[in-house]
Structure 1
Amino acid sequence: MADVKIYIQNFFKGNERSVKAKKNIIYSLFIKGISIAVGLAFVPLILDYLDPERYGIWLTLSSIIAWFSFFDIGLGNGLRNNLTEAIANNDHKLAKTYVSTTYAILGAVLFVIIILFLIVNPLLNWQNILNTTVVETNELAIVALIVFVFFILKFFFSLIGTILNADQRPAISNLFGPLSNLLSLIIIYILTKITKGSLINLATVLSVVPVIVLVIATFAFFIKDYRIYAPSIKNVDISKSKDLLGLGFKFFYFQISSVIFFSTTNFLIAQFSNQETVAAYNIAFKYLFMVNMIFGIILTPFWSAVTDAYVREDFIWLKNSLRKLNILSGVMVIGLVLALIISPYIYQLWIGEKLIIPFSLSLIITLYLIQQLIIAPFSTFINGLGKLKLGLFLISIKLFLFFPLAYFLGTYYGEIGIVMSMLLIQIPSLIQEPIQVFKIINNSAYGIWNK
C-alpha cells in the first residue's frame, strides 16, 4: 500500500502543465465511464421503446441535423486557441473580448439559420430524405423541427465547454454530456412505462435535456468562476473577429470534413441498404468506439496544453508528451483488437437477438478506428499548434474524392464499402500529420509545413 501511495504521489508531480493534464484525464475517465454505462443502457431501452427501423430513422435524422454543426464557421475552435493564448499571457481584457465577440457572432449566425429552417422545413419530404414509409411525413417534419431547433441552441450554449477546455479544465466540460444522458435515460425509462413508442417523445427528451443542462452550466460559470470573462455587449469587438475567424476558418474546413466523413455515413448507409443496417452500424460503432473515446479523453487536455507550451516555447515538453502519447496509442490499438475479438459475445449480452450485427461490419469499423487511434496524437498537436494550412489542402482533395468513392464502394459492398471509403480517404493524413508535427517540434518546419 505504501508503494501505491508513493506511485500516486509521484504521478501527480512534475511540470504544472502535465500535472493539470493528468488530473483532468483521471476525472474525465471516471466521468466517461459513467457516460459509457449510460450509453450502453440507452440502446436496448430505445430498441424496446421503438422498433429497429424507427431507431434507425432517429439515428439518420440526427446525423443529418449534425451537418449544420459547421455553421459556427470554426468560431468555437478559434476561440479555444485564442483564449488559451490570452490566458497564458494574463490578458484578461482580451480574453473577455474574445468571449463576448464569439457569442455575438455565433448568436447572430445561428438565429438566421433557425429562421431559414422554419421556412424550409414544411416544404421538405422527410420520407424521401430518410428513405422510409414507416412514419408519416408530418410526424417526421415535427421531429426534424424539434431536433434542429434544440441542436442549434445546444450548439450556442456549448461555448461554455470551449471556454473550460481553453482553461485546461476539460473534465468539467466532459461532465455535461453524461449528466444530460443520465437525465434523458431516466425520463425515457419512465416514458416506456406510461406511453407507447413515440419518435416525437424520444426526440423531445434527447434534444431538450442537454440544452437545459448547458444553460444552467453557462449561467453558473459566468456568475462565479468566469465572471471576469462573462460576455457583454460593450466588450464585443468585431475587429477581433479577424483573430477568431482567421484561425476559425481553418478549423471550419476541418469541421466540414468531419461532418461529411462521419455524419453522412448514416445517410449513405440508409440509401445503399436500409434503416435496420443503420442501427446495426451505429451499435457496432458505439461499442468499438469506446476505446477511441477513452483515448480521446486522455488527449483532450493536451490540445490547449500544446498551445500553452508552444506559446512559451517549451519544446522539451512537447517532444516528451508526443512520445508518451504515441506509446499509449499502440496500447489502445491492442485494446481495440481485443474488443473486436469478443464483440459477438458483447452484442449477444447487450441487445440479444433484437438485431444481428455481421462480424465483417465490426471488422471494417475496427480497421478504421485503428487508423484514427494512430493519427489522433498528431491531430491533437496540430490543432493545438494551429498549423492547419497543409491539412486544409488535403481536405480539399478528400472532399473531391469521398462521394465518388463512397458511391462506387457502396454500390458493390453496401455498408462495408461506405466505411471502407472513410478508411481510404484518411490515408494521406496518416502520412502528412506525423511528418508535420515532427518538423514543428524539432524547429525544422518551413513554408507550408509551418502555416
Structure 2
Amino acid sequence: MTQSFSLAYKWVNEKINKGQERSIKAKKNILGTLLIKGLSIGFSLVMVPLTLDYVSPSKYGIWLTISSIVGWFSFFDIGLTQGLRNKLGESLAKGDLKLAKTYVSTTYATLVLIFSTVWVSFLIANNFIDWASILKTDATMSSDLSRLMVIVFTYFCLQFILKTITSILTADQKPAIASFVDLMGQFFSLMAIIILIKTTEGSLLNLGLALCISPLIVLLSANFILFKGRYAAYRPSFKSINFRYAKNLFRLGGTFFIIQVAGIIQYQSANIIIVRNFLPEDVVAYNIVYKYFGLLNMVFAIFLTPFWSASTEAFMKKDFEWIKSSVKKYNLLILVFLIAGIFMVIISDFVYRAWLGEDLVTIPSQLSVWAFIFFICFMFGNTYVSFLNGISALKLQFWASLFSPIIYILTAMYLINILGIGVHALFISAIIANLNGIILAPYQYLMVVVKNKRGIWIK
C-alpha cells in the first residue's frame, strides 16, 4: 500500500514538473486550487440548507436579492483591479519591483478614495429609500431592511478594497493562494451560521452580520501577512502613491469597467427581475440551480485561472505555440465537462431532494436543463475571453459589452411578459446575449494567434 502510494506520488510529481516553467507553475496552481476548491464547494453546498434552516426560503430570497443589488455597485471599481492584474503582471515579467510597488500603492489609494465617497453617499441616500417596497415584501420589515443594507454595503466597500490582494496573487500566478483566502472566508462564515442556528432565532440582520464580518477578518489578515512576507517588496506606502500611473490603470481599467458593468447588469439583475415578476421563493430556486450547475464553471475556472496571467507573459515573449496548445487542451476539457453536466441534469431532482429536503424548494426540470446549457456556453467562451483579457485586447469585447445587457434584459422581458416563459427565461436570455463569448472572442483569438493579424484584433 505504501509502495503504491509512493509510486503514485512520484508519477504525479514527474507530470507536474515536466514542461516549460510557465506550464509547471500553472499545473502546481491548478492542483493546489483543485484541493482548495473541493473544500470550497463542500462549504458552499452545506451553507445553502443551513441558511434555509436558519431563515425561511422567502427571507433567504430577500437576502440573495439584496446581495445582487449591492453587487451592482462594484462598477465603482472602474476596472482598477483588473487593470492592476495586467499591469502588475507586466511589471513582474520585466522584474521591475519599484513599478510594481507604485501600481499596488496607487490602486489601494484610488480604491480607498472611491469607495469612501460611495459609502458616504449611500448612507445619505439610504435614509430616503423604501427597501420593503423595492423588494415587494412586508412593510413592517422596512426598518430592518434599511439596517441590513447598511451592513451589507459597508462590508461590500471594505472587501472591495481589501480583496485587491487576491488580484495581486493572481497577477503573480499564485491563484491557489488567492483561492485559499476565499476558502478561509467561507469557512468562518459557515462556522458563524452554525453558531447562529445554535444560539439565536432566524434573523436577516444576524445573517447579514455573520456573512459579512467573517470574510473581512480573513481579508485583513491576508493583507497583513502577505505584505509583511511574500510581497514586502511592494507593500503599499504613501511615498509610492503616484496618481500619474493611475492613468495607465484607468486607461486599461476603464475598458474593463464598461465590460464589468455589462456583466453586472446581465448577471446581477437576474434576481431583481425574478423578484419583480415572480416570487422570492423563485429567486431561491434560480440560485439553487445556478449554484448546482455553477459547480461545473467553478471547477473549470480552477484550470482556467492561471491562463490569464500566463497569457500575458506568453504573448509578451511571442510564445504562440504554448498559447495554441493551452487553448486546445481547454477545449478538450470542456468536452469532459459537457458529459459531466449531462449526468448532473439526469440526477438533478435526486440531488435537490437529498441536498435541501423533500418539500423545501420546488425546482422545475427545464430550469436545470437551461442552466446546464448556459454554463457550457459560458465556459467555452471564457477560455477565449481570458486569453484576450490577458493580452489587453479588449476593444471588440468593449463594443460587444455595450449591447449584451440590453439584449439580455429585452429578451428576458419578452420571454417572461409576452411568451409567459418561467424563471428559466433568464438562462435563455443570458445565452442569447453572450454573443462575445460564443462567437466574437473565438474568432478574435483565431485572427490574433492562428492568422497573426493585428490592427483592430489586438486593440
Give the structure-1-normalised TM-score.
Answer: 0.98
1:48 aligns with 2:53: yes
Identical pairs, percent: 40
Separation in structure 2 between the aligned mates of residue 73 and residue 37 of structure 1, nearest angstrom: 33
SS at structure 2 position matched to 1:238: coil
Give 1:419 deviation, angstroms.
2.1
Q: Tell whether the 8 Å contact from 2:382 to 2:437 is kept in structure 1 after alignment.
A: no
Separation in structure 1 between the aligned mates of residue 301 and residue 67 of structure 2, nearest angstrom: 22
Separation in structure 2 between the aligned mates of residue 37 and residue 208 of structure 1, nearest angstrom: 21
Unaligned runs of 5+ residues in structure 1 are none
Separation in structure 2 between the aligned mates of residue 175 and residue 404 of structure 1, nearest angstrom: 39
1:373 aligns with 2:379: yes
Give 1:428 deviation, angstroms.
4.5
Q: Tell whether the 8 Å contact from 1:394 to 1:429 is kept in structure 2 after alignment.
A: no
**Matching residue within 164, 167, 170 for 1:165:** 170
SS at structure 1 position matched to 2:245: helix
Separation in structure 1 between the aligned mates of residue 101 and residue 436 of structure 2, nearest angstrom: 39
**Matching residue within 402, 425, 434 for 2:433:** 425
- Which residue identity does 2:405 align to in structure 1? L
TM-superposition CA deviations, 1:220-247 (whole Å, max 9, x none) = 1111110111111111111111211111
1:57 alignment partner in structure 2: 62
In the superposition, relative to structure 1, how do residues 5 and 172 fare at CA in structure 2: closer, same or farther (>3 Å)? closer
1:307 alignment partner in structure 2: 312
Give 1:135 deviation, angstroms.
5.5
1:404 aligns with 2:410: yes
**Matching residue within 378, 383, 391 for 1:385:** 391
In the superposition, relative to structure 1, how do residues 135 and 164 fare at CA in structure 2: closer, same or farther (>3 Å)? farther
1:117 alignment partner in structure 2: 122
In the superposition, relative to structure 1, how do residues 421 and 189 fare at CA in structure 2: closer, same or farther (>3 Å)? same
1:319 aligns with 2:324: yes
Q: Tell whether the 8 Å contact from 2:378 to 2:437 is kept in structure 1 after alignment.
A: no
Give 1:9 deviation, angstroms.
3.2
Q: Tell whether the 8 Å contact from 2:266 to 2:409 is kept in structure 1 after alignment.
A: no
- Which residue identity does 1:399 align to in structure 2? P
- Which residue identity does 1:150 align to in structure 2? Y
SS at structure 1 position matched to 2:127: helix
TM-superposition CA deviations, 1:175-231 (whole Å, max 9, x none) = 122211111111211111111000000000101111110011001111111011111
TM-superposition CA deviations, 1:26-64 (whole Å, max 9, x none) = 111111111111111111111111010000000000011
The size of the alignment, in residue pairs, is: 451
> Aligned ranges for residues 80-159 of structure 1 at < 5 Å?
80-133=85-138, 136-159=141-164
Q: Tell whether the 8 Å contact from 1:184 to 1:209 is kept in structure 2 after alignment.
A: yes
Q: Tell whether the 8 Å contact from 1:104 to 1:236 is kept in structure 2 after alignment.
A: yes
TM-superposition CA deviations, 1:244-283 (whole Å, max 9, x none) = 1111111111111211111111111111101000001111
Q: Tell whether the 8 Å contact from 1:52 to 1:276 is kept in structure 2 after alignment.
A: yes
Q: Tell whether the 8 Å contact from 2:148 to 2:204 is kept in structure 1 after alignment.
A: yes
> Aligned ranges for residues 196-345 of structure 1 at < 5 Å?
196-345=201-350
Deviates further, 257-266 or 115-124: 257-266
Separation in structure 1 between the aligned mates of residue 148 and residue 436 of structure 2, nearest angstrom: 38
SS at structure 1 position matched to 2:424: helix
**Matching residue within 403, 424, 447 for 1:439:** 447
Separation in structure 2 between the aligned mates of residue 342 and residue 402 of structure 1, nearest angstrom: 29
- Which residue identity does 1:298 align to in structure 2? F
4+ aligned runs moved over 4 Å, structure 1 = none
Unaligned runs of 5+ residues in structure 2 are none
Separation in structure 1 between the aligned mates of residue 128 and residue 452 of structure 2, nearest angstrom: 55
- Which residue identity does 1:274 align to in structure 2? L
**Matching residue within 8, 14, 19 for 2:19:** 14
Give 1:310 deviation, angstroms.
0.9
Give the structure-2-normalised TM-score.
Answer: 0.96
TM-superposition CA deviations, 1:412-446 (whole Å, max 9, x none) = 21312222111111134311111111221235223
- Which residue identity does 1:373 align to in structure 2? M
TM-superposition CA deviations, 1:101-153 (whole Å, max 9, x none) = 11111110010000000100111010111121176100000011100011110
SS at structure 1 position matched to 2:452: coil
Separation in structure 2 between the aligned mates of residue 5 and residue 173 of structure 1, nearest angstrom: 25
Separation in structure 1 between the aligned mates of residue 434 and residue 449 of structure 2, nearest angstrom: 23
Give 1:15 deviation, angstroms.
0.5
- Which residue identity does 1:96 align to in structure 2? K
SS at structure 2 position matched to 1:331: helix
Separation in structure 1 between the aligned mates of residue 436 and residue 306 of structure 2, nearest angstrom: 26
CA-atom RMSD in angstroms: 1.3
- Which residue identity does 2:115 align to in structure 1? L
In the superposition, relative to structure 1, how do residues 299 and 91 fare at CA in structure 2: closer, same or farther (>3 Å)? same
Q: Tell whether the 8 Å contact from 1:332 to 1:373 is kept in structure 2 after alignment.
A: no
SS at structure 1 position matched to 2:173: coil
